[in-house]
Amino acid sequence: MARPSPLEVYALLDKSNCKDCDRDTCMAFATDLLERNVVVQDCTHLMQDPKQAKKRNKLIKIVTPPQKPVTIGIGERKCIVGGEEVLNRHQLTFYNETQIFMQIADDDPEIAEIAKYLTELKIERMGEVLQVNGITLRCVSGDTEQFKLCSKKLTEVSDLPVMLACLNPDILLAAATEIKEFKPLLYAATKDSWEQVGKFAVENNLPVVAVSNDLDQLLSLSATLQKLGVKDLILDAMTVFGPGNVALTYDNIMQLRIAAIDKGDVNAGWPIMGVPAAYWSQVKTDDDKELWEHQYQEIIMGAIMQSIDCSLIVMHSGKRKEDIWALLAMMTLRQSIFSDPRIYPAVDAGIYIIGEPTEKSPIFVTSNYRLTKIPVEIDIKGANLDAWLLVVDSEGIGIESAVAGGQFNAGSIAETVKEFKMFEKVNHRILIIPGMAARLSGALEDEADAFVVVGPRDSSGIGKYIKEQWNPEEFMKIYEDLKE
């Protein structure tokens, strides 16, 4: 299905420019609707006027992506999976990153402590906060009361979305009844349990996972559950390990994505999940390998799934502090894959204060590309320096490319110095520019009336540079001599 244009969306609005949606015009609303910044329901005229029903339904249909989005959980931590329009990130962008759910067994005596740790875990990296998205409660005990008790406990100690995982529908639905107001994800509806699980999901408006290792059977399950009235569905073609099985798992996920996004198959048009945690039940781990070697195999599968935009993955490794490396690998890879290729990640230009700088402190100059500015800031802090960081608007482009393309130049740096009155905050006129911008030094001295020194090519060398080469008195003496 071709992506609609803003004009096609605009044609289905009432064109009143009422501003009830906080947009100045209906065209602005149409553009934001395509960018997922608003939803159709934000247009009150369209939603409340019975005469607009036909247009409303048509609009919802054309803006719904071929892979429908599904919401799990409630409140601020609820997560949205799926909702993608393209097979590859570079074609447009991926809108909803892979959601990472951590698996906990219902017989784990530390279930409350683990859940609390995962809920509070926040890692700041490159200006973003990395977090776990949900918890999968796996029924290992086989005991209905135990599973019910643990599901209730999870919702008491954590606000993370919950996936209830049990192939016994009686146990699964007993636990789901206890926490249905928290909108848990039901895992799973199979060829044997689809009717029982599906009816419960419809009655309680809950998302459900359809599971089968046979793609034809899986799509048949999808069609049957939709006919039953299930509104939120996730597909699991099962994750298998062993020789040749990684490729099989990959192929199944890709076949489902291609069927949904390229071929418009409504039965495949749902989020897709994978379970790297299945490694621990499919492979013998009582061999001579160390624990981390087995964990590494699970991580590899998780990385593969994220790289092909699997909507949700369930992990086992990483749920305890001692295994944080496993979770870090997943979250940092995800951060890279799901950045928006259409925009340069930028920060605001201006002066950033690091530590407690004085009038004698050095001034470092960098670009406003976020993945340049933040590492520079981190490295200055890591060197225990009190400094001024002057960030220049380079249109969100890194130093080397911006120097080559002219976005980071002597004129723009000088303008930034002047705009933010940088030299009024210090008793010197020394600017430290990145080593990759060395060729700008001569022109910048003239443009900014400053003494320019060339710092290290990589910000990791800032500490050593300041220790060995920073000499403001000598630099200012040279500056004054040159002025004369």
Per DSSP, the residues of 432-454 read EE-GGGGGGHHHHHHHHTSEEEE
**Helix segments in 234-357, DSSP class H:** 245-261, 279-282, 291-307, 324-337
Q: What residues have CB less than 8 Å from 393, skipping those under 6 apart?
A: 349, 368, 412, 416
Which residue did the predictor score with more confidence, 340 or 198? 198
185-189 sheet: strands from edge to edge: 233-236, 208-211, 185-189, 162-165, 134-138, 99-105, 312-315, 273-274
8 Å CB contact between 312 and 302: no
Supply the DSSP string of 390-405, one letter for each residue: EEE--TT--HHHHHHH
pLDDT of residue 32: 94
Single-letter residue type at 179: I
Q: What residues have CB less than 8 Å from 241, skipping those under 6 apart?
A: 278, 279, 282, 283, 297, 301
8 Å CB contact between 165 and 146: no
The pLDDT-based confidence of 160 (bands split at 50, 70, 90) is very high
Query: Mean pLDDT score of the chain, rounded to an integer?
Result: 95
The pLDDT-based confidence of 1 (bands split at 50, 70, 90) is low
What integer is the mean pLDDT of 69-98? 96
The pLDDT-based confidence of 3 (bands split at 50, 70, 90) is confident
Rg of the chain's alpha carbons, rounded to an integer?
27
- pLDDT above 80 (res 21): yes
The pLDDT-based confidence of 421 (bands split at 50, 70, 90) is very high
Taking only the tens place, the pLDDT of each residue in 33-77 is 999 999 999 998 899 888 889 999 999 999 999 999 999 999 999
Topology (CATH level 3) of domain 6-63? 3-methyladenine DNA Glycosylase II; Chain A, domain 3 (1.10.15)
| Backbone φ, ψ for residue 224 (5° rounding) | -65, -45
Single-letter residue type at 155: T
- pLDDT above 90 (res 125): no
Taking the C-alpha atoms of residue 93 and residue 88, their distance in angstroms, rounded to an integer, is 8
The pLDDT-based confidence of 2 (bands split at 50, 70, 90) is confident
Angle between helices 324-337 and 291-307 (to 10 degrees): 20
Taking only the tens place, the pLDDT of each residue in 351-382 is 999 999 999 999 999 999 998 999 999 999 99
144 burial (CB, 10 Å; 0-12 / 13-18 / 19+) is: middle
- Count of C-beta atoms within a 10 Å radius of residue 308: 16
Topology (CATH level 3) of domain 69-337? TIM Barrel (3.20.20)
Taking only the tens place, the pLDDT of each residue in 166-207 is 999 999 999 999 999 999 999 999 999 999 999 999 999 999
Q: What would the two tokens of residue 215 be? A: 């793609």
Taking the C-alpha atoms of residue 229 and residue 208, their distance in angstroms, rounded to an integer, is 12
Taking the C-alpha atoms of residue 355 and residue 467, their distance in angstroms, rounded to an integer, is 17
pLDDT of residue 481: 86
Task: Give me the residue spans of the domains in the chain.
Answer: 6-63, 69-337, 350-483
pLDDT of residue 482: 80
8 Å CB contact between 396 and 369: yes
Q: Where is average pLDDT lowest: 279-288, 311-320, 427-436?
A: 279-288
Single-letter residue type at 414: A
**HSE-up of 439 (CA within 13 Å, CB side)?**
9
- Residue 443, preceding bond cis, omega within 30 degrees? no
Cα–Cα distances in angstroms (integers) from residue 77 to residues 17, 206, 222, 399, in the given order: 33, 17, 27, 36
Full-model pTM: 0.86
Architecture, CATH, for domain 350-483: 3-Layer(aba) Sandwich (3.40)
pLDDT of residue 317: 97
Supply the DSSP string of 46-101, one letter for each residue: HHH-GGGHHHHHHHHHHHS-SS-EEEES-STT-EEEE----SSGGGS--SSPPEEE
Q: What would the two tokens of residue 359 be? A: 């009038």
Strand (E) or helix (H) holding 232: none
Percent of the residues in the chain that have a pLDDT greater than 70, as a whole number? 100
